[in-house]
Amino acid sequence: MFSRFRVGRVLGISGHLLNRSQRLKPETILPASQSSAVHRSNTRMNSTEPYKFETLAVTKPLDHVIQVELNRPDKRNAMNGTFWREMVDCFRQIADDADCRAVVLTGAGKIFTAGLDLMDMGSNLMSSDLEPSRRAHLLRKLILFLQDSFRTIEKCPQPVIAAFHSACVGGGVDMICSCDIRLCSSDAWFQIKEIDIGLAADLGTLQKFPKIIGNDSLARELCFTGRRFTAEEALQFGFVSRVSPGRDSLVKEALELAGQIAKKSPVAMAGTKHNLNFSRDHSAQEGLEYMATWNMAMLQTEDILKAVQSGMNKEEPVFSKL
């Protein structure tokens, strides 16, 4: 067992900060009115009132965990105009939800998603009312907006776990490439479909998929041919980290994983996700320098003291909201 002095030296924590750890346990009995107020401030808000959407169903199945479900089962969860707007609104709300520490993304119905809703979005993509240069300008703005719908998943400080079953096609692959962890059921299959409808995937697959699987040749094969690949293949080349027997067990495993993540320090978790994303897109040296700048502030968190003291006392730490 480490002494308090040795733990302080290992972590570089001053005696003054270590003395603060004595105050982490509520030794003073508060008046009843103050005690109930503190209890209310630390109690999870169960309401999902802010999360009201047409194409997404949002629930809070566990403490500090939000489940976002694609909710157009009659349309095979195809991504229409409303969906793109609501994804931005939903994940921006989640990013600002101090009670949320992990997110699980699922799909309702028989399949996860059929990708872009061409019937709904076709008019935006093929409009010919304007001369070419002006039409190109509007198309670029549209593509950037659609890209931002999935970029909000990356920008969200909470880890996002994609748990998908059956088909994940086209835009669905773009979407899950923006998630932090990917789990699937054994019946899942994937298709980078855009090549078959005359366009290059433009919402993230070409930029992220090769980095995720670490096999440029295979990535190009799948992007050039548009062929389906199975859950077994996805696991083999590292696109997913787990395969579950069916949808029910898949969602259960995803929620259990989210629950484990939600128990960790939200300061540490947000910093870990942010710096993983930064380092993916920069050199190792740039990532290290950025990390030093990030942690010169974040190492001052009380969460370190809570984690150390809980470990010494063989207790599970309880962290404040971010």
Are residues 290 and 170 part of one domain? no
Residue 138 located in a structural domain: yes
pLDDT value, residue 119: 85
What is the number of domains present in the chain?
A: 2
Query: Worst-scoring range by mean pLDDT, 18-22, 184-188, 233-237?
Result: 18-22
DSSP secondary structure of 222-235: HHHH---EEHHHHH
Residues 251-264, mean pLDDT to the nearest whole number:
97
The model's pLDDT over 23-76, given as tens digits with 9 standing for 90+, comes to 333 333 333 333 333 333 333 444 456 789 999 999 999 999 999 999 999 999
Are residues 271 and 227 part of one domain? no
pLDDT value, residue 50: 78
Query: Is the torsion defined by CA of 171, 173, 177, 182 positive or negative?
Result: positive
Is residue 123 pLDDT above 90, yes or no?
A: no
Are residues 120 and 99 part of one domain? yes
Is residue 246 pLDDT above 50, yes or no?
A: yes
Domain that holds residue 276: 266-313
pLDDT value, residue 42: 38
Are residues 302 and 220 part of one domain? no
Q: Dmax of the chain from CA atoms?
A: 75
Mean pLDDT score of the chain, rounded to an integer?
86
> Which CATH number goes with the domain that contains 292?
1.10.12.10
Residues 280-303, mean pLDDT to the nearest whole number:
96
pLDDT value, residue 26: 39
Residue 90 located in a structural domain: yes
161: closest CA among 278, 261, 275, 51? 261
Is residue 309 pLDDT above 60, yes or no?
A: yes
pLDDT value, residue 129: 75
Is residue 263 pLDDT above 80, yes or no?
A: yes
Residue 19 located in a structural domain: no
Are residues 255 and 145 part of one domain? yes
Residues 309-321, mean pLDDT to the nearest whole number:
91
- Give the type of residue at 261: I
Residue 318 located in a structural domain: no
Residue 10 located in a structural domain: no
Token pair, residue 272, equals 């870990």
> Which CATH number goes with the domain that contains 217?
3.90.226.10
Are residues 299 and 230 part of one domain? no
**How many Cβ atoms sit within 10 Å of the Cβ of residue 19?**
11
Are 218 and 178 in contact, with CB atoms under 8 Å apart? no
Residues 266-281, mean pLDDT to the nearest whole number:
96
Are residues 242 and 138 part of one domain? yes
Q: Give pTM, 2 decimals.
A: 0.83
pLDDT value, residue 14: 39
- Hey, what long-range contacts does 291-296 have (CB within 8 A, 24 or more apart)? 295/271
Residue 284 located in a structural domain: yes
Query: Is the torsion defined by CA of 38, 41, 42, 43 positive or negative?
Result: positive
Residues 67-93, mean pLDDT to the nearest whole number:
97
Residue 9 located in a structural domain: no
- Give the type of residue at 163: A
Are residues 258 and 145 part of one domain? yes
The model's pLDDT over 129-186, given as tens digits with 9 standing for 90+, comes to 778 888 889 889 999 999 999 999 999 999 999 999 999 999 999 999 999 999 999 9
Residue 73 located in a structural domain: yes
What is the C-alpha to C-alpha distance for residues 222 and 92, in angstroms, rounded to an integer? 32
